[in-house]
Amino acid sequence: MSTQADIGVTGLAVMGGNLARNFARNGYTVALYNRTAARTRALVDEHGDEGAFVATETPEEFVAALKRPRRLLVMVKAGEATDAVIRQFAPLLEEGDVIIDGGNAHFEDTRRRERELREQGLHFVGTGVSGGEEGALNGPSIMPGGSKESWQSLGPMLEKISAKAEDGAPCATHIGPDGAGHFVKMVHNGIEYADMQLIAEAYDLLRRVAGYEPARIAEVFRTWNTGRLDSYLIEITAQVLAHTDAATGRPFVDVVLDQAEQKGTGRWTVQTALDLGVPVSGIAEAVFARSLSGHADLREASRELAGPRPTPLSEEAAAAFADQVEQALYASKVVSYTQGFHQIAAGSQTYDWDVDLGRVASIWRGGCIIRAAFLDRITAAYDKDPALPSLLSDERFAEETAAAQDDWRAVVSAAVQGGVPVPGFSAALAYYDALRAERLPAALTQAQRDFFGAHTYRRTDRDGAFHTQWGGDRSEADAG
């Protein structure tokens, strides 16, 4: 076997197969290996005419087919399967070769794998790949971590197969060392959960408060998609809502079981945020909303609990309410991204990754699930001030949320009055109000902690830690 392939792909299920085809369509010679050889043969039979493939049947043959430094993309189920594949291939590789993991791995696993392989002289690139099957084939957003050297050898190829933003820029960039890429992909997914939850709440409000039918709501979303909410998720929401179920003739959304599932990346985002001490309340509410929806027995047992019935709005009032929901959705979305970028900044600082936040926003403009016109504004905000403490402190976002806040509050109030759950909208608004508060009741929390646990408190007028002798006549004696 001559050593000719630019890259090898192992794990040829839909994502792996489509990425292999994407490389081949872009002029790269792609070696293929799959545990069951039938899958390799099927890919070559069906798509062999799309480019240059080298089908191999053993790991040794596969490795021998690759140009040096070898680039080997692993597309297997995240977790133990990834470790098994690494154990299988690492001994066959030589110093300077690169193993790339394109699955949704936990960034801590990626950090461990990178460390272990580095000791063997190999580069390990944990990379986020977003865009689902379609993106993998036609251009995903790609978020690779790993060494600078590995980016030098891999970067041009990833840029070539990636989605291109409207200005033609590739949606791939070197995120940072070791687990940085998978961390950023994880937060991408957390934001994806939050975006989806906010859209779901907007839909619920338009349905239950404004009294619109799904087809009408689809029109509203289509209109929103021509403005600042322009995004893939809004676009597909309009399509889903306009879809009629063929079997029943009913709106499709009405025949889908209302229990959302998850593979876990949103949950990881929140778990990690808790460890980092970053308040990602909007993302957390989105994860919990999915979890609550899945508790069918609990919901059944609670169905008779008392609550108001939304009073139907007039046509005119409904249209005005829909405009208010757009404001609330946009402002809440700004908060989700504010929280997500705070988490990336905190991860970057903790793990010393030096992630460029503006670049992250710019490679999410194309290919990925959360692609949106609005990401340009985030890049612009970080370009203007790379040390921006929070996206909400950017002048433009501050102005937009200021302009939205009355409607945002009105929508949350209407939801509360009407008994429609809006955990995403209200968590976002609470976060906004907490950030802008002059004083928070955390002062009282601190006093309580000192009272029952002598945990001490800090004062507004003096430095140091203080403890009050609570109770009895010594209650005013502070110990600095």
Which residues are tagged catalytic?
A: 185, 192
When asked if residue 332 is in the footprint of ligand 6PG (CB under 6 A), the reply is no
Give the nearer residue to ligand 6PG in terms of CB position, either 26 or 262. 262
Q: Is 456 exposed, middle or buried (0-12, 13-18, 19+ CB in 10 A)?
A: middle
The residue whose Cβ lies closest to ligand 6PG is: 130
Q: Which stretch binds ligand 6PG (CB under 6 A): 117-125, 229-237, 262-270, 431-439?
A: 262-270
393: left (phi over 0), alpha (psi -120 to 50) or beta: alpha
Residue 270 makes contact with ligand 6PG by CB under 6 A = no
Among 17, 131, 170, 179, binds ligand 6PG (CB under 6 A): 131
Could you tell me which stretch among 65-73, 226-234, 258-266, 395-403 binds ligand 6PG (CB under 6 A)? 258-266
Of 77, 148, 263, 459, the residue at the interface with ligand 6PG (CB under 6 A) is 263
Among 56, 153, 237, 265, binds ligand 6PG (CB under 6 A): 265
Contact present, 123 and 149 (Cβ < 8 Å): yes
Token look-up 């989605």 returns 163
Contact flag: residue 338 with ligand 6PG (CB under 6 A): no
What would the two tokens of residue 233 be? 């998720």
Instruction: Return d(Cα 48, Cα 163) in angstroms, integer.
Output: 23
Q: Does 367 bind ligand 6PG (CB under 6 A)?
A: no
Q: DSSP of 217-269, one letter per residue?
A: HHHHHHHHTTTTT-BHHHHHHHHHHH-B-TTT-SBHHHHS-S-----SHHHHH
Binder to ligand 6PG among 192, 195, 201, 450 (CB under 6 A)? 192
Phi, psi of 408 (to 5 degrees): -55, -50
* Closer residue to ligand 6PG in complex, CB, 221/232: 232
How many chain residues bind ligand 6PG (CB under 6 A)?
A: 12
Q: Does 327 bind ligand 6PG (CB under 6 A)?
A: no
CB 333, min distance to ligand 6PG, A = 17
| 70 versus 290: smaller Cβ distance to ligand 6PG | 290
CB of 102 or CB of 251, closer to ligand 6PG: 102
Amino acid at 372: A
Rounded distance between C-alpha atoms, residue 443 and residue 448, angstroms? 9
Distance of CA 370 to the CA centre of its chain: 7
> Nearest 5 degrees, angle CA 367-CA 85-CA 94?
95
Residue closer to ligand 6PG by CB (options 104, 153) is 104
In this chain, which stretch among 31-39, 83-91, 125-133, 421-429 interacts with ligand 6PG, using CB under 6 A? Answer: 125-133
Told to check if 104 binds ligand 6PG by CB under 6 A, we report yes
Q: State both tokens at 354.
A: 């030096």
Contact 184, 107 (CB under 8 A): no
> Does 138 contact ligand 6PG by CB under 6 A?
no
- Between the alpha carbon of residue 477 and those of residues 48, 253, 480, the distances in Å are 82, 63, 10
Q: Considering only 61-69, 88-96, 259-267, 439-447, which stretch makes contact with ligand 6PG by CB under 6 A?
A: 259-267
Binding of residue 184 to ligand 6PG (CB under 6 A): no
Instruction: State yes or no: residue 347 binds ligand 6PG (CB under 6 A).
Output: no
d(CA 10, CA 150): 19
SS3 category, 54: strand
- Applying CB under 6 A, among 103, 146, 177, 266 the residue interacting with ligand 6PG is 266
Residues of this chain that interact with ligand 6PG (CB under 6 A) are 104, 130-132, 189, 192, 262-263, 265-266, 368-369
